[in-house]
Structures are given as structure tokens and as C-alpha cells.
Structure 1
Amino acid sequence: MNLLENTRLALEGLRANKMRALLTMLGIIIGIASVMAISTLGSAMTGSVSKTMDKIGSKNISVYLTPKNYDSQPTMQPEDYITQDELDSFKTMYSSQIQAISLSKSMGSGELDSGYIHKDVSITGANPDYRLVNNINLVQGRFVSDRDIQSSRNVIIIDTTLRNNLVGVDGDPTGMDITVKTKTTNETYTVIGVYEKLVIDNPLFNMGDDTRVECFIPITTAMALGSEATTIPGYDSLTIMGAANGDTTAFAKTAKDYFLKSLDPLSDYTIESQSMESIVSEATGMLSTLSLGISVIAGISLLVGGIGVMNIMLVSVTERTKEIGIRKALGARNSAIRSQFIIESIIICLIGGMIGVALGAALGIFGSSLLKFPTTPPFGPMIIALCFSMGIGVFFGYYPANKAAHLDPIDALRYE
């Protein structure tokens, strides 16, 4: 009996016992569907993390001073800071590996007071490279320039929300003077630009509902207005935007070693660096490990399904004992009997696997849509799932098939 004939007999048997066949497949369907859904969701979350990190800046490297011992809470000394001369020398030495270096200083929160408009704002001092590194999208005017930095000008860049409150959606606020009050300052700034806030529409990166508007001023202006202006000769952190084709993970170590050489070994602080690529790699690795772990747990139901297949195949062998005896009396070999029941077991598992793949893919697509990162089910896990379901059919179908193949034809013919 050939493969096609065995397949036809297996399908006829399934049609004759539809409910029994469906209940037998149920464990396979649930297991395969779970694995497929988890694989699809894992792929969606990994893609979502990578896309979001690209928006934030996938080539960025953070370099910062950090205490050697957090328990002692040491005070940062003037000689600990990274100086402008060190930055200029570093940028010159590694110019081919650097696109930009972002510097910033937070002045904290304050309130914009312009006529009847009162709005909570946060003021950040920034250098010209800050725009490129942090993906600031200007819609009107310009960003901080080198001349603004050199002259410590009182100029400010606001966002579209603040622009809309001040002059309306179609208005142009550039050249307008606005007053911002903070805990230590009450300064008037001239608006030179308007930017559109970067929206991270990703529930995995939900930072909460912060209605405070961030505004930018020259970093030298922020440092001059700060209470510690006379004691801070440099910067405690910076962000480097690496070359597009460069290895930022390796360059992060280079940057750390460079600035660490200028730091006093007896200082209570040290230099640390971290690339966004390494963060993405760690995050996606954790997601992949989590998905794999959950898939293994979900796959336990496949074991239950396989036991169910073995059980039903043993019942099938018992029900068809006389048929087996007749076939053996007519000259059927043990291998033919064995292959008939193994193929029947494979067909049951394969159909269950196909239903499971379809159901799991649908659940995965629905779940990824809820994450706001629609994706298609990964092709690799789909093929693996179908092959695995066929493997279950062979593994759990072999014992009943072998039992059928070794039935004594005389005893089988006498069986009622």
C-alpha cells in the first residue's frame, strides 16, 4: 500500500470520527497556537523596541561621571568635570567616528509668563549638536547656534504646543519675548525657533503623561544662570552620535578610556559609557529569552497532545484488529501495517498543527496590533511548528503502529 492510499485511508478515518479526531487534535492545536502567538508577539516587541530606539538615536553613546561608591554620596569636585578642551581634543582625534557631541544642562522646571498665558515648562541648556543627536525637528526658525553659545544669549526654542498657545497654529512666534520664572531666575528670552515634540507611540516606552513643555536655551546661558556657575568648569555628561557605519559598542569603550585618563585616580568619581546599540541588544536578547521560555512552557501542552494521539491510535488499533488480521492473511508485511498507522498519526498531528499555526498567527497579529506595531508571523517558527507537529505524530504514533504490525494474524482474525 503506497503513501497516497495510506493518506486516503487516514482522512476517511478522520471523517468517520470527526469529534474524536478534533478532541485528539486539541492538545496539538493549543500547543502550536500558543507557540506561534508568542513567537509573533516576540517578533513584534523586538521590532517595536528597535524602531523606537532608532527614533531616540540608535547610534548614540552616553558618557557620564558616576560615583565609585554610591553609598558614600561624594561631592563632585571642579577637577572631576570633563572640560571643553578635552572635548575639542577628543572630537579632533576621533573625527571620523563622530557625527556630533551633544551637551546639555537642565535648569529644572519653571513657568512661562506671557500676558494671560501661564504654562509649566522645563528649561534645558543645549549646544548646536543637541538637535542632531536628539532628533529635534524644527518647524519654524532655527536652533541654538555657535554665536549664541559664545555670547550666552537669552534666546529660546519652544515647542508647537507652546507656539499654539501664544500665537495660534498658523502664527509665527520667532522674535517674540517671553518671560520664564524658575526657582532661581526670572529671565526674558527671545524666541528663535519652534520644534515639534518627538512622539513615542509605544506602550513599552510609556513615560507617563507629562504635560510640561521642554524649552531649549544656549548651554552657556544655562550655566551662567545656574547657582553653581562659578564652580563648574565643564560637563558631567555628554552624548556622542557615532558614525553611521561604525561600531558604537566598541567606540563607547574607547570614549570611556579617553576621558578616564584625564580623571584623577584618587577622585571619588569614575567615567562610564554605554551605547544605545548595546541597550537595544540587551533588550531584544531579554525579549527573545522570555519568548523562548514562555514557548517552552506552552509547548508542554504538545506533550499532552502527543499522549492523546497515542491513546487514540491504540484505540484505533484495537477497533481495527480484525482488519489488520485480514490484511496480514492476504500477505501485508509488518512494515506496511506499521506505516499505515504512523501516517494516520502524522496526518492527525499535521492537521492539528496547521489549525494551530493559523489560530496562533491570528492571535499574534491581533496582539501585535494592540502593541501598535503590527507584524506578520515569522516564517521560520511556522515551519518549525509544522515539522514539530509531524515529529510528534511519528514519535507518539510509532508504539501503536508497531503494536499493530506485530499482531498475530490468527489471533487478529478471531478477535471480535
Structure 2
Amino acid sequence: MNLLENIRLALEGLRANKMRALLTMLGIIIGIASVMAISTLGSAMTGSVSKTMDKIGGKNISVYLTPKNYDSQATLQPEDYITQDELNSFKETYADQIRAISLSSSLGSGKLNSGYVHKDVSVTGANPDYRLVNNINLVQGRFISDRDIQSSRNVIIIDTTLRNNLVGVNGDPTGMDITVETKNTNETYTIIGVYEKVVIDNPLFNMGDDTRIECFIPITTAKALNSQSTAIPGYENFTIMASANTDTTAFAQITKQYFIKNLGALSDYTIEAQSMEAMVSEATSMLSTLSLGISVIAGISLLVGGIGVMNIMLVSVTERTKEIGIRKALGARNSAIRSQFIIEAIIICLIGGIIGVGLGSVLGVLGSSLLKFPTTPPFTPMIIALCFSMGIGVFFGYYPANKAAKLDPIDALRYE
């Protein structure tokens, strides 16, 4: 009996016992569907994390001072801070690998007052490179310039939401004076630009609803107005945007070693540098591991499904004992009998696997859409799932098939 004939007999057997076949496949369907749904969601979340990280700075490297020992009380000394001269020297040394260096200093939260407009704002001091590194989309006016930094000017960049409140959607607020009152300051600034806030539409990066509007002023102005940072001779942290062809993971280590040598041997602090690409790699690796672990747990139902297949095949062997005896009496070999029942088990698992893949893909796509991670089902897990389902058919179908092949033809013919 050839392969096609065995497949035809298996399909006829399934057609004759539709309900029993469906119940037999149920465990396989649930197991494969669970694995496919989890794989699809995992793939969607991994892709979403990568895209979001790229959107907020895929080539960025964060550099910061950190205590050598968190168990002891470390205090930053004036000589520990990273100076502007050190940053300039570093940028000059690695000019081919650095696009920009972002510096910032928070002035804190406060209240903006202009006529009838009163808004909660947060004020951040920034340098010119801050715009490029942090992907600030300027829609009107200009950003902070070197001359603003050198002169510590009272100029400010506001966002479109605040612009709309001040002068309307089509208005131009540049040149307008506004007053911002913070904890220790009450300053009047001239608006020189308007930016559009980048919306990160990703639940994984949703840090809560912050109703404060972020505004930017020259970093030297912020440091001069901030009583806590007036005496600070440098910076605790900064962000590098690397050039397109730079290996940011390797360059992060180069950066770390460059600035560590400027710290005194007795300093309680050291330098850490972490690239966004390394963070993306860690995040995606963690999500992949989590998806794999959950898939393995979900795959336990495949074991239950396999036991169900073995059980129904044993019932099938018992029901068809006389048929087996007749085939053996007519000269059928043990291998032919064994193949017939193994192929039947494979067909059951394969059909269940196909249904499971389809159901799991639909559930995965639906779930990823609801979580705002739209995606398509990954192809590789789909093929692996189908191959695995056929493997279950071979594994759990072999014992009943072997039992059928070893039946004595005389005893089988006498079976009632």
C-alpha cells in the first residue's frame, strides 16, 4: 500500500468519525494555538520595543557619574564633575564617531502666566545639540543657539499645546514675553521657537499622564537661576548621538574609559556609559526569553493532546482488529500495517496543527492590535509548530501502530 493510499484511508476514517476526530485534535489545536498566539504577541512586542527605542534615540549613548559603592555614602566633589573643556576635547578627539552631545539641567516645575493663560510647566536647560539628540521637532522659530548659551539669555522654547493656548493654532508666538514662576525664580522669557511633542504610542513606554508642558531655555541660564547648581563646575551626565556607522556598544566602552581617567583615584564615583542599542538588545532578549518560557508552558497541552491521539489510535486498532487480520492473511507486511496507523496519527495531528496555527495567528494578531502592537504572524514558529505537531503524531502514534503490526493474523480473524 503506497503513501497516497494510506493518506486516503486515514482521511476516510476521520470523515466517518468526525466528532471523535475533532475531540482527538482538540488538545493539539489548543496547544498549537497557544504557542502561535504567544509567539505572535512576543514578536509584536519585540518589534515595538525596537521601533520605539529607535524613535527616541537608537544611536544614543547615555554617560553618567555613578557611585563606586552604593552601600557607602558617596558625595560628589567639584573635581568629579565632567567639565565643558573635557567634553570639547572628547568631541574633537572622536569627531568622526560623534554627531552631537546633549546637555541638560532641570530648573524644575513651575507655573507659566501670560494674560488669561496659566499652565503647569517644567523648565529644562538645554544646549544646541539637545534638539538633535532628543529628536525635537521644531515647527516655528528656532532652537537655542551658541550665542544664547554664551550670553545666558532669557529665551524659551514652548510646545504646540502652549502655543495654541497663547495665540491659537495658526498664530505665531515668537517674540512674545511670558513669565514662568518656579520654586526659587520668577523670570520673564522671550519665546524664540515652538516644537511639536513626539507622542510615544506604546503602552510599554507609558510612564503615566504628565500634564506638565516641557519648555526649554539655555542651559547656562538654567544653571545660573538654579541655586543648587550655581556652584557646580560641570555636569553629572550627558548623552552622545553617535554617527550612523559607529558601533555604539563598543564606543560606549571607549567613552567610559576616556572619562574614567579624568577622575581622581580617591573619588567615590566612577563613569558608566550605556548605549541605546545595548538596551534594545537586552529588552528584546528578555521578551524573547519570556515568550519562550510561556510557550513551553502552553506546549504542555500538546502532551495532553498527544496522549489523546495515542488513546484514540489504540481504540482504532481494537475496532479494526479483524480488518488487520484480513490484510495480514492477504500478505500485508508488518511495516505496511505500522505505516498505515502512523500516517493516520500524523494526519490527525497535522490537521489539528493547521487549525491551531490559524486560530493562534488570528488570536495573536487580534491581541497585538488591541495592545497597539500591530504585526503579522511570524513564519518560522508557524513551520516549527506544524513540524512539531507531525512529530507528536509519529511519537504517540508509533505504539498503537506497532501493536497493530504485531497482531497474530489468526487471532485477529477470530476477533469479534
For 1:332 and 1:64, locate their aligned partners in 2 and report how far apart those are by CA, in whole Å.
78
For 1:243 and 1:161, locate their aligned partners in 2 and report how far apart those are by CA, in whole Å.
32
Residues 161-183 of structure 1: CA distance to partner in whole angstroms, max 9, x if unpaired?
A: 10011001111000000000011
How much does 1:94 deviate?
0.5
For 1:239 and 1:395, locate their aligned partners in 2 and report how far apart those are by CA, in whole Å.
56
How much does 1:75 deviate?
2.7
For 2:87 and 2:208, locate their aligned partners in 1 and report how far apart those are by CA, in whole Å.
34
1:257 corresponds in structure 2 to 257
1:187 corresponds in structure 2 to 187
What does residue range 202-351 of structure 1 map to in structure 2 within 5 Å?
A: 202-351=202-351
For the pair 1:197 / 2:192, whether they are aligned, the reply is: no
1:56 corresponds in structure 2 to 56
How much does 1:69 deviate?
2.8
SS of the equivalent of 1:70 reads coil
1:382 corresponds in structure 2 to 382
**Higher deviation after alignment, 17-26 or 222-231:** 222-231
2:148 corresponds in structure 1 to 148
For the pair 1:392 / 2:360, whether they are aligned, the reply is: no
How much does 1:229 deviate?
4.7
Unpaired segments ≥5 residues, structure 2: none
What does residue range 33-44 of structure 1 map to in structure 2 within 5 Å?
A: 33-44=33-44
For 1:16 and 1:267, locate their aligned partners in 2 and report how far apart those are by CA, in whole Å.
82
1:10 corresponds in structure 2 to 10
Residues 229-251 of structure 1: CA distance to partner in whole angstroms, max 9, x if unpaired?
A: 54211111000001112110111
TM-score normalised by structure 1 residue count? 0.99
For 2:302 and 2:46, locate their aligned partners in 1 and report how far apart those are by CA, in whole Å.
26
SS of the equivalent of 2:193 reads strand
SS of the equivalent of 1:388 reads helix
TM-score normalised by structure 2 residue count? 0.99
2:367 corresponds in structure 1 to 367
Change (3 A) 1:162 1:414: same
1:164 corresponds in structure 2 to 164
For 1:386 and 1:407, locate their aligned partners in 2 and report how far apart those are by CA, in whole Å.
32
For 1:271 and 1:120, locate their aligned partners in 2 and report how far apart those are by CA, in whole Å.
35
SS of the equivalent of 2:162 reads helix
Letter aligned with residue 92 of structure 1 = E
2:77 corresponds in structure 1 to 77
Letter aligned with residue 409 of structure 1 = P
Aligned residue pairs, count: 416
Residues 52-73 of structure 1: CA distance to partner in whole angstroms, max 9, x if unpaired?
A: 1011101110001112233444
Residues 236-293 of structure 1: CA distance to partner in whole angstroms, max 9, x if unpaired?
A: 1000001112110111111111111111111121111111111111100000000000
SS of the equivalent of 1:235 reads coil
For 1:190 and 1:366, locate their aligned partners in 2 and report how far apart those are by CA, in whole Å.
49
Change (3 A) 1:331 1:223: same
Letter aligned with residue 214 of structure 2 = E
For the pair 1:100 / 2:100, whether they are aligned, the reply is: yes
SS of the equivalent of 1:96 reads coil
For the pair 1:20 / 2:20, whether they are aligned, the reply is: yes
What does residue range 404-415 of structure 1 map to in structure 2 within 5 Å?
A: 404-415=404-415
Residues 319-371 of structure 1: CA distance to partner in whole angstroms, max 9, x if unpaired?
A: 00000000110111111111110110000000000000000000000011012
Percent identity of the aligned residues? Answer: 87
